[in-house]
């Protein structure tokens, strides 16, 4: 039986933010299919400057894979285009024929993108992933992507209208599919445009991703995703049907499970609470689907397999020795859960691509927003609760120029663009660099110190630039029954004021003095924390904040580690009670400009729900167990135990 643990009330404002954030992260789905009766030339309203071609839709081509499974693929053709056509392919588990929300002019959906790019002289192909919607086979969240991509390219090669050059697009899992497709080394794959593609990353570059294993913990919002979008069962017509026979009945059935929608889980505040809080507090976590009455999915394996378990091998994740080949425009945002992996993928493709052309044609664009939302930058861009100014950029025009360059061979100057374009919140400007890390990066340590009362006291804990000689410590009690619960974490929403959270006794707060001058921080953030506890295992979570003069403390980025993995994800080593351990913490990457008069702050604690499942502090299995104990945790600082955070400050030369 699952075990449910209590509830604390949240404001209506926070509930609204939860709904918005989850809708953005997973994609609210409301039907907008192309009718089989309407196949042909379609006049479509799109929120971009469409090209000169009208668009013809050919729905539900069955592309046969090597094992006989057929994947349903919609094709969008430019009418009247002279010559053979390059292809932009999206392989998605999110329904090729369905919008992401109710706005017919929303650019962030499959069909509007398809019409736009087809109107500019491309064939846009959208394919239901194996086992999803109209496609045959069994849906496995990790498997088959390399083989199915290769077979799809082979099918394109057989089409008389195909120019021989293909690219790909897609965000989240459709982004990860591109990282895997590049492993085919297929000669027809000229380029890719992976957006928020961390779920295709393994351990390349020294990180640990594998769908979601950051810090050795499990992201419980994946259980929410599995409930709504990860179902393995779909009703389909007989495999014996030809495409022509299928089109006659295509609009007479609905393959989508009723659970495959956020309409139900967000229907009322009570339903929203059950989905976003109650379910996340269930123990053991493998029972979350039972609590939500979910359809069958891969959640059990995602929740239980150890980081080095062979089960993950079927995912064809990007590892240090993985060969790839494709020019790539890597796209993401600072508040995406996978921004760290995006930059690692850029570095990997720049070094490990087979051809010089692919190695030389790697580019990155990073916005200030969240998961799959880069196209939403505006003149008044808000990420979470933080206004970061005018972040407008011609994103869609950039995509089009990318394909004109890589698929049509047009010399439009794209190869001379800066390698990395990134937005700096606080400075509220786009900047660029041709190297990563950014030239002029100066790693700077800020040391923790206090008078022993850094919890629930904004004046005790301090961050200082000089290493303190005097040793000291701060302590807190981490209770798994009452974890720190971030309804709006960086994965889903953006930058939020966390000052109200910092009143908790189980969060240690360390703050710098107001800055005399502004400073840019862009790059890898690290921390070294000296820690002791009285339990065999617990977690370490550190957040970095930009503290405004009025007291608002906007969360920027977070590092997390399940301490049993402190010596590596290939082995588990429990803690000895009372022993002081030196913990190296990867706090990922971020960009922020700390204005004069602002302060730098870090919060230290041992939980960060639901992004990371709770450590039960027993040393047992945090996925299969329900029993837990409290942990007394001590953070040491000063002298030989000088804990610090290391920030990548950028030294400017000239006007910024």
CATH number of the structural domain spanning residue 347: 3.40.50.1820
Of 416, 433, 450, which residue constitutes the final position of a domain? 433
For the chain, what percentages of helix, strand and coil (3-state, to nearest 5) are there? 25, 30, 45
Of 433, 452, 482, which residue constitutes the final position of a domain? 433
**Residue 342, domain extent:** 12-433
Residue 532 has pLDDT above 80, yes or no: yes
Element (H, E) at 592: strand 581-594
* CB distance 316 to 176 below 8 Å: no
Output the CA angle 121-126-131, nearest 5 degrees: 165
The whole-angstrom distance between residue 425's C-alpha and the CA centroid of its chain comes to: 19
Co-location of 522 and 375 in the same domain: no
Is 297 within a domain? Answer: yes
Each residue of 53-73: b (16+ CB within 10 Å) or e?
bbbbbbbbbbbebeeebbbbb
Residue showing tokens 């050795």:
216
pLDDT at site 594: 98
Q: What is the average pLDDT across 267-289?
A: 93
Co-location of 343 and 243 in the same domain: yes
Residue 466 has pLDDT above 90, yes or no: yes
Look up residue 21 and give its two tokens: 């954030």
Report the distance separating Cα 90 and Cα 508, nearest Å.
45
pLDDT at site 209: 75
Q: Using 50, 70 and 90 to split pLDDT, how confident is the model at 36?
A: very low
pLDDT at site 33: 34
* CB distance 30 to 260 below 8 Å: no
Is 294 within a domain? Answer: yes
CA neighbours within 13 Å on the CB side: how many for 196?
Answer: 24
Alpha helices for 407-493 (secondary structure H): none
Co-location of 606 and 644 in the same domain: yes
pLDDT tens for each residue of 249-273: 887 777 777 665 666 788 888 988 9
Co-location of 117 and 36 in the same domain: yes
Poorest-pLDDT segment among 295-309, 345-359, 434-448: 295-309
Is 655 within a domain? Answer: no
Number of residues that make up the chain: 656
Co-location of 139 and 165 in the same domain: yes
pLDDT at site 40: 53
Is 656 within a domain? Answer: no
pLDDT at site 404: 98
| Radius of gyration in angstroms for the set of CA atoms belonging to the chain, rounded to a whole number | 25
Number of domains in the chain: 2
Q: Where are the beta strands (DSSP E) in 255-301?
A: none
Of 399, 433, 467, which residue constitutes the final position of a domain? 433
First to last CA, the chain: 59
Co-location of 447 and 526 in the same domain: yes
* CB distance 192 to 326 below 8 Å: yes
Report the distance separating Cα 9 and Cα 23, nearest Å.
21
Is 3 within a domain? Answer: no
Report the distance separating Cα 352 and Cα 317, nearest Å.
14
Co-location of 471 and 382 in the same domain: no
pLDDT at site 230: 85
pLDDT tens for each residue of 407-460: 999 999 999 999 999 999 999 999 999 999 999 999 999 999 999 999 977 889
Question: Which CATH number is 609's domain given?
Answer: 2.60.120.260
Report the distance separating Cα 557 and Cα 118, nearest Å.
38
Is 575 within a domain? Answer: yes
């Amino acid at each position: 039986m699952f075990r449910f643990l209590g509830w604390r009330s949240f404001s209506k404002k926070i509930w609204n933010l939860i709904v918005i954030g989850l809708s953005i992260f997973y994609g609210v789905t409301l039907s907008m299919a192309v009718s089989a009766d309407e196949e042909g030339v379609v006049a479509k309203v799109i929120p971009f400057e469409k090209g000169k071609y009208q668009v013809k839709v050919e729905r539900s081509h069955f592309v046969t894979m090597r094992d006989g499974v057929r994947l349903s693929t919609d094709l969008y053709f430019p009418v009247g285009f002279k010559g053979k056509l390059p292809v932009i392919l999206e392989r998605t588990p999110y329904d090729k024929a369905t919008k992401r929300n109710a706005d017919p002019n929303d650019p962030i959906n499959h069909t509007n993108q398809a019409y736009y790019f087809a109107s500019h002289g491309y064939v846009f192909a959208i394919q239901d992933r194996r086992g999803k919607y109209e496609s045959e086979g069994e849906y496995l969240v990790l498997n088959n992507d390399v083989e199915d991509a290769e077979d799809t390219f082979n099918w394109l090669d057989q089409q008389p209208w195909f120019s021989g050059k293909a690219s790909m697009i897609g965000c989240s899992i459709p982004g990860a599919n591109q990282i895997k497709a590049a492993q085919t080394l297929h000669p027809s794959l000229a380029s890719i445009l992976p957006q928020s593609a961390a779920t295709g990353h393994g351990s390349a570059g020294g990180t640990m991703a594998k769908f979601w294993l950051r810090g050795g913990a499990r992201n419980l919002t994946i259980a929410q995703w599995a409930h709504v979008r990860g179902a393995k069962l779909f009703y389909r017509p007989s495999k014996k049907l030809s495409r022509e026979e299928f089109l006659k009945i295509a609009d007479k059935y609905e393959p989508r499970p009723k659970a495959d929608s956020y309409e139900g889980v967000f229907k009322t505040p009570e339903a929203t609470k059950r989905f976003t809080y109650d379910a996340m507090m269930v123990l053991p976590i493998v029972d979350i689907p039972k609590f939500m009455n979910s359809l069958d999915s891969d959640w059990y394996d995602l929740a239980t397999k150890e980081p080095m378990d062979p089960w993950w091998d079927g995912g064809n994740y990007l590892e240090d020795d993985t060969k790839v080949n494709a020019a790539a425009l890597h796209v993401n945002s600072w508040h995406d859960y996978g921004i760290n992996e995006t930059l690692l993928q850029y570095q990997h493709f720049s070094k490990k691509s087979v051809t010089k052309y692919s190695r030389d044609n790697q580019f990155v664009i990073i916005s200030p927003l969240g998961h799959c939302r880069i196209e939403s930058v505006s003149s008044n861009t808000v990420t979470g609760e933080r206004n970061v100014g005018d972040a407008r950029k011609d994103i869609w025009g950039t995509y089009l120029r990318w394909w004109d360059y890589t698929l049509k061979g047009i010399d439009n100057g794209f190869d001379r663009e800066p390698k990395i374009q990134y937005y700096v919140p606080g400075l509220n400007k786009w900047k660029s660099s041709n190297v990563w890390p950014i030239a002029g990066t100066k790693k700077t340590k800020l040391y923790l110190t206090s008078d022993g009362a850094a919890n629930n006291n904004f004046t005790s804990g301090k961050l200082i630039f000089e290493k303190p000689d005097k040793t000291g410590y701060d302590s807190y009690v981490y209770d798994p029954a009452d974890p720190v619960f971030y309804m709006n974490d960086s994965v889903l929403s953006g930058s939020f004021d966390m000052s109200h959270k910092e009143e908790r006794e189980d969060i240690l707060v360390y703050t710098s003095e107001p800055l005399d001058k502004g400073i840019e921080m862009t790059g890898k953030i690290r921390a070294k924390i000296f820690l002791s506890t009285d339990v065999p295992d617990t977690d370490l979570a550190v957040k970095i904040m930009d503290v405004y003069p009025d007291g608002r403390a906007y969360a920027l980025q977070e590092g997390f580690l399940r301490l049993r993995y402190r010596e590596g994800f290939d082995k588990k080593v429990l803690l000895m009670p009372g022993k002081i351990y030196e913990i190296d913490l990867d706090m990922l990457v971020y960009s922020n400009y700390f204005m004069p008069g602002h302060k730098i702050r870090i919060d230290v604690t041992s939980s960060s729900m639901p992004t990371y499942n709770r450590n039960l502090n027993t040393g047992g299995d945090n996925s299969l167990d329900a029993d837990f104990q409290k942990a007394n945790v001590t953070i040491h600082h000063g002298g030989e135990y000088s804990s610090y955070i290391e920030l990548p400050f950028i030294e400017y030369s000239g006007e910024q």
